[in-house]
Amino acid sequence: MSVSPHLNQTKTLTIAVTGLNANDNPGPGLGVIRALRDGFGENLRIIGLAYETLEPAIYLSDQVDKTYRIPYPTAGVEALKERLQQIQEVEHIDVLIPNFDAELFNFIKLEKELLNMGIRTFLPTHQQLADRDKVNLQAFGNKHGLEVPASETILAVSELDQMADKLGFPLVIKGKFYEATIVQHISEAYKAFYKLQAKWGLPIIVQQFIKGTEINIAGLADGEGNTLSVIPMRKMYITEKGKAWAGITIADDKLINLAKAFAKASQWKGGFELEIMRDEKDRLYIMEVNPRFPAWIYLSAAAGQNQPRMLVDLALGNQVKELTAYTAGKMFVRYAWDNIIDVAEFQKLSAFGEL
């Protein structure tokens, strides 16, 4: 182990975490918190930052010490800054770990001001955030020689025929922000185009469908081209939304090297997740790059590389050495738990913005 143990630290470390949400597509917040609790032991105070009153982890009082509501990303940087200033006066947060794609833009924008308040982060740049966006992924892959599914951004339904000729069926039709549909023939493609256009606007992304095994990789990189931890996980049980509900760590140098190549090419800073498809010919395609830890991140700690804790150390400026050893064959099997609370707690959070 290269990370110095903090188990006996005397000063309480205060870490703020977002992404406390959970439905069939859970946020990474709770996984991050659990890994931090494992990694830091006592003298750790976790501050939850929530957008909604029903983000489930808010009510897990043994995991989250205190929760504050923060303004939606749509309210802008200034509103977020003001709210964090208020919270900081009370809580003296040392490190903040954002876990939502949609909020990252604002947190990155506030990076320096947070540091002035005494809040450290370890985040990618706006440029890195934009480069891995699904609209730009093809260009990113081409530029760095990384295999990505052939895709094209289109603005008119008339371009679909041409794309179908080029890529063949099935095709994946994706919305600008969210949602994807797999279509088998052109009439379905038209239907998907109109539906996604109505919901998310243009452009629409048309992507080659790749059949294979779904693998996710959780990684942590230092912003100078080096990965400090890579944990590949094969999905074993997949929800309707394509999320892993159970998964297993696997050992494969090809996957590790791919994550390293990604971090080197992008100079990625912070946690990331690569969604990989391995086809029959053992080719690895990067389907998507998530600019944060995945919801299953606790598995990294269980397998021997506690990425959230390493990230905190990086944010604090502590020396962190690359980890390479981990246990293959560790599994996570997700479980949903009905936590019981009183309506008063919910009302309190709704009205006062903290709990």
Partner 1 sequence: MKQKYERPTIRKMNTGLMNKFGTRTDFDPVESIDGVAVKDLVAQYGSPVFVLSEKQIRRNYQAALRSFKTRYPKVQFAWSYKTNYLNAVCKVFHQEGSWAEVVSGFEYHKALGNGVAGHQIIFNGPDKKEADLILAIENHSLIHIDHFDELYLLIQITQRINKTAKVAIRVNFDTGVYPIWDRFGFNYENGQAWTAINKIAKADKMELVGLHCHIGTFMLSTAAYAVAAAKLCQLALKCKNELQNPLQYLDLGGGFPSTNTLKGAYLPGVDTVPSVEDFAEAISNTILEAGFDTDELPLLILESGRVLIDDAGYLIGSVLANKRLSDGRRATILDFGINILFTSNWYDHKISVAKESGQYTEETVLFGPLCMNIDVIRESIMLPLLERGDQVVVHKVGAYNMTQWMQFINMRPAVVLIDQQAKSHLIRKPENLTYLEMMEVVPDYLKI
Partner 2 sequence: MKLKANIATSENGFIFNPATGDSFTSNGIAAEILTYMKAGESEAEIKQKILDRYEVELCQLERDWDDYMLQLKEANLLDL
Positions in the binding site for partner 2 (CB under 8 A)? 343-344, 346-348, 350-351
Shortest CB 31 distance to partner 1, Å? 18
Nearer to partner 1, 70 or 301 (CB): 70
151 binds, among partner 1, partner 2, none (CB under 5 to 8 A by kind): none
Helix (H, G, I), strand (E, B) or coil at 197: helix
User: Would you state the torsion angle of the CA atoms of residues 298, 299, 302, 304, taken in this order, to the nearest 10 degrees?
Assistant: -110
Query: Considering the rule CB under 8 A, would residue 71 count as an interface residue with partner 1?
Result: yes
Query: Considering the rule CB under 8 A, would residue 1 count as an interface residue with partner 1?
Result: no
Measure the CA–CA gap between 350 and 355, rounded to whole angstroms: 9
Shortest CB 346 distance to partner 1, Å? 7
Instruction: Note every long-range contact of 253-257, with CB atoms under 8 Å and residues 24 or more positions apart, other chains counting.
Output: 254/282, 254/284, 255/215, 255/217, 255/230, 255/284, 256/230, 256/232
Query: Considering the rule CB under 8 A, would residue 159 count as an interface residue with partner 1?
Result: no
77 binds, among partner 1, partner 2, none (CB under 5 to 8 A by kind): partner 1
Shortest CB 235 distance to partner 1, Å? 24
Query: Considering the rule CB under 8 A, would residue 75 count as an interface residue with partner 1?
Result: yes
Shortest CB 113 distance to partner 1, Å? 13
Q: Which of 5, 41, 201, 242 binds partner 1 (CB under 8 A)?
A: 201
Token output for 261: 């190549």
Task: Please check whether residue 295 is in contact with residue 28, taking contact to mean a CB–CB distance below 8 angstroms.
Answer: yes
Query: Considering the rule CB under 8 A, would residue 26 count as an interface residue with partner 1?
Result: no
Name the nearest CA neighbour of 215 among 256, 276, 262.
276
Q: Which of 90, 102, 182, 238 binds partner 1 (CB under 8 A)?
A: 102
Question: What does the DSSP assignment read for 266-295?
Answer: HT-EEEEEEEEEE-TT--EEEEEEESS--T
User: In the beta sheet, which residues pair with residue 214?
Assistant: 277
Sign of the dihedral defined by the CA atoms of residues 178, 179, 185, 191, in that order: negative
Q: Which of 16, 40, 55, 216 binds partner 1 (CB under 8 A)?
A: 55
Token output for 159: 């371009």
Query: Considering the rule CB under 8 A, would residue 48 count as an interface residue with partner 1?
Result: no
78 binds, among partner 2, partner 1, none (CB under 5 to 8 A by kind): partner 1
Nearer to partner 1, 199 or 283 (CB): 199
In terms of DSSP bridges, do strands 269-278 and 180-183 run parallel, antiparallel, or are they unpaired? unpaired
Shortest CB 67 distance to partner 2, Å? 17
Measure the CA–CA gap between 244 and 221, rounded to whole angstroms: 23
Nearer to partner 1, 85 or 213 (CB): 85
Query: Considering the rule CB under 8 A, would residue 195 count as an interface residue with partner 1?
Result: no
Task: Please check whether residue 96 is in contact with residue 13, taking contact to mean a CB–CB distance below 8 angstroms.
Answer: no
Q: Of 215-223, 243-251, 334-342, 344-352, which part binds partner 1 (CB under 8 A)?
A: 344-352
Q: Which of 24, 42, 52, 282 binds partner 1 (CB under 8 A)?
A: 52
Task: Write the single-letter amino acid at 316.
Answer: L
* Contacting positions for partner 1 (CB under 8 A): 21, 23, 51-55, 71-79, 102, 105-106, 109, 155, 177, 201, 203, 346-347, 350-351
